[in-house]
Structure 1
Amino acid sequence: MTGTAGVAENGMPSILRAACVSVGIDAGGAEPIGSQTVYRLHDGIVARIGGRGEKLAVGREVAVARWLETCGVPAARLVPDIPQPVVVDRRAVTFWQDLPPHHPGTPADVAKGLGQLHRLPLPGFELRRMMPLARLEEEIAAAQTVTEQDRRWLRAHLEELRGRWKTRPAGVPWSVIQGADWAENVVVGDDGDLILVGLGEAVVGPPEWDLVHVAIECWTAAAITATEYADFCAGYGRDVMRWDGFYLLRDIQEFRMALQSLRGATVNPAYQGQALRRLAYVRGDKGMRPWPGWAELD
């Protein structure tokens, strides 16, 4: 659904008002939540405003949310009975039911959430298949804070990873996976119910990809303890580090994370130290994991 009325200087409040008018929701008293793209409205409604040109991505998130509701999986819910997303000035606006009081999930909670997601049959709509090494040449070319020698190594390492990916060990059947950081994407209501959130990056891929990310949190970044990782494995029923393909997926994820920091340093010099540290780690210059100072980017 597309609206154009009420947009002034592409301001977020104007976009929000136009979207609300088009679906009959009162925008009066809207309060931003942490940014100028998420607003709390009346009657327990939260509006999210996507970036320009993100209609397809937001549409996938809407489809995944509706699919999870159909499957009976506790997850963030859309406001029912209105067409979504609403597009105003090329920005896709969605309306969600506000979450109940909640707190972050533990690694054991994350394991439960991942298990629920991975066991679902594939949805009846088209969802992108994971291509973990796609478009990384562009990432390398765009890195402006590395030397040409560094760039040559990055390209050679990418080719090595591509060769390993083509001959990767077999794993469990592909399913819908979250595909990104689960640190804030599983919450637990104060009543004890687990809720999946932040599934905008969901794709069809190897379930091991999500598990490897948690292993990296422990054994690369030391962001969770060995005991918490053991609780995660017990909750999921599997330790992905015992799978033959673990090292490949770990190396790909760490490489992508290093490129992420290089991209950040290109636009913000404050990230340069972390970018060079990650590059040195993945290149093997700094010893064995866990790697001190391997930190999440803000």
Structure 2
Amino acid sequence: MKHEDLEAVARAACSAVGLITSDLEPIKVAENAIYRLPSSAIVVRLANPGQEAAAERELLIAGWLHRSGVPAVEPANLATTFVIQRNHPVSFWKELPEHRGATAPEIARALRALHRLEPAEFLPAIDPFVRLDQRIDAASATSPADRRWLRDHLAELRERWADRTDGMPWGPIHGDAWEGNVVTTIDGPTLFLDLERTSIGPPEWDLTSTAIKRSSFGWITRKQYVGFAEAYGRDVETWSGFPLLRDIREMRMTCMAVQAAGRDSRRAAQAQLRVDSLRGRRGPRPWSGWEAMP
């Protein structure tokens, strides 16, 4: 859907809950479209059609984390914080105060607090391969040979996941814990955003997000990673199951890129670089050139 069409959906959803949209402005329009209403200090989040249950669950998770003493984004103070508008699930959230991306140790401490919680009954089990088939199918700018390889690699990863090595006991995990989704406010608290992937799973899944920033891409230094591991109390890279979680994470990042390249040719070079890395065409890790995609 075009940006102007998504904005029209956001405006209609706001009107449905009694919000004035004269100052509506975009924050990020990507897989999910996010807008803000500065005068109301409210953020409006549009999910894709078919994601109703997940969008409603995010609101439940946010309330549960708040009651459990784990800082996270909070639902807006509205009588209704969730509506369906033109098949898009739309949720309403309190706007955050001034903030920055959390440092590696701050992410580690936030994850340690989350991982200690007793699971809530509404949390689903982790699905590390969610949407990957669809992303490969949508990779229209990727060569048929590379798409076949991606499908074969996905099948291999599923087999390895079925035979995975046990690690820490499963419990609540964020699911996508990096500095874009874990932020520190100007007043000090570090809190979680984007709760779409919050589920029951191996804590190592969250730790791997930071570990691969060093070992796969060279985005952080060894010293920064050691600070993360020490703050959490465990170095996930020393665990025998780490290579599997690393490989799945890299695959998820690659599938997101090839889908994006199918929609926008400006993403094609980054998508191909990622495919080439996974296929062994760019030498051993850490691979250079991987860039965050908006």
TM-score (norm 2): 0.87
Quote the Cα distance in structure 2 between the aligned partners of 1:150 and 1:113.
38
Residue identity in the other structure for 2:25: P
Does 2:146 match 1:153?
A: no
Does 2:27 match 1:31?
A: no
Residue 62 of structure 2: SS of its match in structure 1? Answer: helix
Quote the Cα distance in structure 1 between the aligned partners of 2:94 and 2:105.
26
Quote the Cα distance in structure 2 between the aligned partners of 1:99 and 1:145.
37
1:170 counterpart residue number: 166
CA 1:14–1:161: 2 relative to 1, 3 Å: closer
Residue identity in the other structure for 2:198: A
User: Following TM superposition, where does structure 1 have runs of at least 4 consecutive aligned residues deviating by more than 4 angstroms?
Assistant: none
Does 2:175 match 1:182?
A: no
Deviation at 1:80, TM superposition (A): 4.1
Identify which range, 203-212 or 175-184, moves more after superposition: 175-184
Quote the Cα distance in structure 2 between the aligned partners of 1:154 and 1:233.
31
Residue identity in the other structure for 2:73: A
2:8 counterpart residue number: 11
Quote the Cα distance in structure 2 between the aligned partners of 1:288 and 1:166.
26
Residue identity in the other structure for 2:229: C
Deviation at 1:291, TM superposition (A): 0.4
1:59 counterpart residue number: 56
Question: Deviations for 1:176-229, whole angstroms, at most 9, x for unmatched residues?
Answer: 222125121222222222222221221222111111111111111112221111
CA 1:88–1:230: 2 relative to 1, 3 Å: same
Residue identity in the other structure for 1:157: H
Residue 176 of structure 1: SS of its match in structure 2? Answer: strand
Identify which range, 42-51 or 270-279, moves more after superposition: 42-51
Does 2:190 match 1:197?
A: no
In the alignment, structure 1 segments of 5+ residues that lack a partner are 1-7
Quote the Cα distance in structure 2 between the aligned partners of 1:218 and 1:279.
19
Deviation at 1:104, TM superposition (A): 2.0
In the alignment, structure 2 segments of 5+ residues that lack a partner are none
Kept after mapping to 1: 8 A contact 2:10/2:44: no
Quote the Cα distance in structure 1 between the aligned partners of 2:168 and 2:246.
17
Matches within 5 A, 1:120-159: 120-125=117-122, 127-134=123-130, 136-159=132-155
Residue identity in the other structure for 2:52: K
Question: Deviations for 1:144-198, whole angstroms, at most 9, x for unmatched residues?
Answer: 3333433333333223222221211101121222212512122222222222222
Matched length:
286
1:109 counterpart residue number: 106
Quote the Cα distance in structure 1 between the aligned partners of 2:114 and 2:253.
24
CA 1:249–1:79: 2 relative to 1, 3 Å: same
- RMSD of aligned residue pairs (Cα, Å): 2.5
Question: Deviations for 1:217-276, whole angstroms, at most 9, x for unmatched residues?
Answer: 111111222111111101111000011100011111112222222212222222221222
Quote the Cα distance in structure 1 between the aligned partners of 2:150 and 2:28.
35
Q: Name which one, 1 or 2, has greater alpha-carbon Rg.
A: 1
Deviation at 1:20, TM superposition (A): 2.7
Quote the Cα distance in structure 2 between the aligned partners of 1:47 and 1:147.
37
1:293 counterpart residue number: 289
CA 1:282–1:230: 2 relative to 1, 3 Å: same
Residue identity in the other structure for 1:31: L
Question: Deviations for 1:115-153, whole angstroms, at most 9, x for unmatched residues?
Answer: 11111111032x222222355344334333333433333
Deviation at 1:100, TM superposition (A): 2.2
Aligned-residue identity in percent: 36
